[in-house]
Amino acid sequence: MSASKAINNRRTFGIISHPDAGKTTLTEKLLLFGGAIQVAGAVKSNKIKRTATSDFMEIERQRGISVATSVMAFEYRDLQINILDTPGHQDFAEDTYRTLTAVDSVIVVIDVAKGVESQTEKLVNVCRMRNTPIIVFINKLDREGQDAIDLLDEVEQKLGLNVCPLSWPVGMGQRFKGVFNMFEEKLVLFQPHGKQTEADIIEITDLSDERLDKNVGKAAADELRSELEMVTEVYPAFDKEAYLKGQLSPVFFGSAINNFGVKELLDCFVEIAPGPLARSAEEREVRPEEDVFSGFIFKIHANMDPKHRDRIAFLRICSGTFNRNTNYLHVRQNRKIKFANPTSFMASKKTVIDEAYPGDVIGLYDSGNFKIGDTLTDGEALHFKGIPSFSPELFRYVENADPLKSKQLNKGLDQLMDEGLAQLFTMELNGRKIIGTVGALQFDVIQYRLLHEYGASCTFEPVNLYKACWVSTSDKEALKAFVSRRKKDLAKDKNGNLVYMAESAWALKMAQENHPEIQFHFTDEW
């Protein structure tokens, strides 16, 4: 296959949602319709295998939470589909944020009963920052939920999306008859337990067609006609260019657990979703059709080996062709590395690959060479933008519980921070280390991993902090004055960047007002 054809055949997207909206179920059913698995649920076997059981895994089992992004690939209608299924739990939101830098579009799953939830808002905001094309899938139509129009209003208001329904439900819950596929002008009748047949798909180009009344009943048919008349007047017609620019979001309705509405979503997705997109580097824009290879690391995942020697770095390929056993430049380390066993992730297994193309996500076995955001190229010094570290929401002092293991503790903290598990700040005034996370569960994870992978013990002490803000200015005198006045509140992150540790919202507001020349940033990328 030529490189240009391989690029055009790639579709790489992420699935995001609040926990329990049905994200993993939708992922399973997409794989099922794509022929990648034979039984829904088999996708769970694709979670990256850990070769040893550890206490960290015990935490994972006890909480019943997936903490790892899964990468799955399958072929559908002559296209290579790459799905990145992200953790839904808010304690691992940063992993999802970084994963979103590696996708070209996303599907947002919303529970019809619960509507737009807080985690969904945060994740969609990240997508909107990058103008990522978004498709909305409103799930669980077989249950009682909110009115469809009210839901669309909520999506527009809370998520800031300009929506365009491409399917519409006929009833809901006990009255759920199916959906009218506006994109293909077909009525798809609902059969519980995923028992759809070709006979349940009826082509209806004219809503006055009496077959509509015959199949769903006159009352439901009249209600559908009335709602669709209003919907087509209120909401814009589908515009592919607006969707690709992130300015318009198609909406589909269905019930993933019943296999319903998923095929319609997938068929539309492969028609409209973007192929590999250009990526911005500090030096220039990198386009997928370029001959020279480039890619960036957006996630590092340890397999929980007690010896901590087997980590997988996830590489998103941005341009050119990646070839096995070829020397590539590790830009940060300024040295060449080659990879004997790069892997692709399929729904049923991981396989060693010989080559990969823009849009693909591959796994590189890592002995500690990589950090989040690292770049590999054919030789050009590129630094890709867009992999932020967000300001943590919880902070704790980290204390060494075993002074004889200081070296192990420092090494463990350094490597865990490289994986993006949390953020480490060192106070300028006294050198005390503060760990910042987005969720309380991460502190438990850090303690267990330090103990069982590095032999280091630590304790956490509470610290009263509101926000960590990265600061910048072009005024050297203003920076000098700021540092002089705020020294007790300043720290350095793991990359040596200056950070203002605000004790409260009021303290942050006062700092902003008293130092107008200083810019305060809530991500370390600006």
Please indicate, yes or no, if residue 6 is contained in any of the structural domains: no
**Section 82-108 average pLDDT:** 78
pLDDT > 50? residue 42: no
Confidence of residue 199 (pLDDT cuts 50, 70, 90): low
**Strands 498-502 and 458-462: what pairing?**
unpaired
Half-sphere exposure of 366 (CA within 13 A, CB side): 24
Q: Are residues 248 and 284 in the same domain?
A: no
In a domain, 76, yes or no: no
Region 36-42: mean pLDDT is 48
Same domain, 231 and 327: no
Say which residue, 199 or 18, is predicted with more confidence.
18
- The residue behind tokens 């198609």 is 250
Q: Is there a single domain that holds both residue 400 and residue 307? A: no
Q: Is residue 268 part of a domain?
A: yes
Residues 192 and 262 placed together within one structural domain of the fold: yes
472 and 359 belong to one structural domain: no
End-to-end alpha carbon distance in the chain: 39
What's the structural domain count of the chain? Answer: 3
Do 345 and 218 lie in one domain? The reply is: no
The answer to the question of residue 389 being in a domain is no
Query: How many angstroms separate the CA atoms of 400 and 419, rounded?
Result: 21
Q: What is the arithmetic mean of pLDDT over 288-295?
A: 95
Find out whether 293 and 351 touch, Cβ atoms under 8 Å: no
Nearest to 67 by CA among 374, 422, 310, 394: 422
User: How far apart, in whole angstroms, are the C-alpha atoms of residue 172 and residue 507?
Assistant: 49
Determine, yes or no, domain membership for 264: yes
The tally of CA atoms less than 13 A away on the side-chain side of residue 393 is: 10
Q: Which residues constitute the domain of residue 505?
A: 394-521
Tell me the pLDDT tens digit for each residue of 245-266.
999 999 999 998 888 888 889 9
Among 272, 299, 327, the domain boundary falls at 272
The verdict on 323 and 451 lying in the same domain is no
Q: Is 79 contained in some domain?
A: no
Predicted confidence band at 491 (pLDDT cuts at 50, 70, 90)? very high
In terms of domains, do 99 and 224 share one? yes
| 61-70, 141-150, 298-307, 502-511: segment of lowest average pLDDT | 61-70
Residue 176 lies in a domain: yes
Q: Which of 211, 237, 272 is the last residue of a domain?
A: 272
pLDDT tens figures, 264-282: 899 999 999 999 999 999 9
CATH code of the domain covering residue 430: 3.30.70.3280
Cβ-based neighbours of 234, under 8 Å, separated by 6 or more = none
3-state secondary structure 32-58: HHCCCCCCCCHHHHHCCCCCCCCHHHH
Q: Name the pairing type of β-strands 134-139 and 105-111.
A: parallel
2 in any annotated domain: no
294 and 164 within one domain:
no
Q: Are residues 150 and 266 in the same domain?
A: yes
CATH number of domain containing 315: 3.40.50.300
Indicate if 244 and 315 belong to the same structural domain: no
Picking from 92, 82, 86, the residue whose alpha carbon sits closest to that of residue 70 is: 86
CA-wise closest residue to 102 among 123, 79, 82, 87: 82
Q: Over pLDDT 70: what percentage of the chain? A: 85
The values of phi and psi at residue 375, to 5°, are -115, 140
Q: Where are the alpha helices (DSSP H) in 273-359?
A: none
Looking at the DSSP bridge assignments, the partners of residue 163 are: 249
Neighbour tally for 523: CB within 10 Å: 15
Statement: residue 364 has pLDDT above 50: yes
| 126 closest CA partner among 389, 360, 374 | 389
- The closest of 345, 339, 384, 337 to 361, measured between CA atoms, is 345
Q: Which of 178-192, 328-342, 454-468, 491-505 has the lowest mean pLDDT?
A: 178-192
Model confidence at 503, in pLDDT bands (50, 70, 90)?
very high
Sign of the Cα pseudo-torsion (190, 196, 202, 205, in order)? positive
- CA dist 329 and 375 (Å) reads 8
DSSP string covering 68-123, please? S-EEEEEEETTEEEEEEEPP-SGGGHHHHHHHGGG-SEEEEEEETTTBS-HHHHHH
Distances (CA, A) of 342 to 278, 309, 313: 23, 16, 10
- pLDDT band at 61; cut points 50, 70, 90: very low
Asked whether the beta carbons of 348 and 36 are under 8 A apart, the reply is yes
Contact 340, 363 (CB under 8 A): no
The pLDDT confidence band at residue 438, using thresholds 50, 70 and 90, is: confident
**Do 109 and 63 belong together in one domain?**
yes
- 286 pLDDT band, cuts 50/70/90, is very high
**Chain center to CA of 410:** 29
Last residue of a domain, one of 222, 244, 272: 272
pLDDT of residue 51: 33
List of residues 6+ apart from 508 with CB closer than 8 A: 466, 467, 469, 500, 502, 520
The token pair at 288 is: 């997928």
Is residue 308 a contact partner of residue 302, using CB atoms and an 8 Å limit?
yes
Report the C-alpha gap between 292 and 288 in whole angstroms: 9
The single-letter code of the amino acid at 440 is A
